[in-house]
Amino acid sequence: MKTGFLLILATLGVTMACGGDDGEGEAEVPEVDCATVTVPRYAELTFLQDSCAHCHGADKEGPARQEAPVSINFDTIEAAKPFAKEAVEELYEDPPAMPPASANLPAVTEAQRSALNAWAQCGTPE
């Protein structure tokens, strides 16, 4: 029971701190046919290190996190896997919720967004 409650709290934290329902366009995430798409490995998703981990890194604290929840990181595969689908939803919002303008990072490209979507939907391979 305690684990379920913690999962609900973590989900609420993701929703509130990383965009959530802020009145912007709902995410329309395309389905991926895992049998026909080339699914990248985590190491091929270099933008996770270059962009996402800029705020969502275990080594980031305080203002350096840009209000990113402490429990949500993308600097290792172990940290990224549980939040992969939520990250995809953030990237498919209109306009994308991540990266936030305050982070002063380049926008995630369509190719990067599609690659993360395939990775998330097709089993998050190492």
CA distance 26 to 17: 16
* Res. 78: pLDDT tops 80: yes
Domain, as residue range, for 50: 2-121
Residue 126, domain member (yes or no): no
Residue 39, domain member (yes or no): yes
3-state secondary structure 53-99: HHCCCCCCCHHHHCCCCCCCCCCCHHHHHHHHHHHHHHHHCECCCCC
Q: Which pTM was predicted?
A: 0.78
Residue 53, domain member (yes or no): yes
Residue 97, domain member (yes or no): yes
Number of structural domains found in the chain: 1
Residue 42, domain member (yes or no): yes
Residue 49, domain member (yes or no): yes
DSSP 26: P
Residue 94, domain member (yes or no): yes
For 53-70, the pLDDT digits (tens) are 999 999 999 999 999 999
For 35-59, the pLDDT digits (tens) are 999 999 999 999 999 999 999 999 9
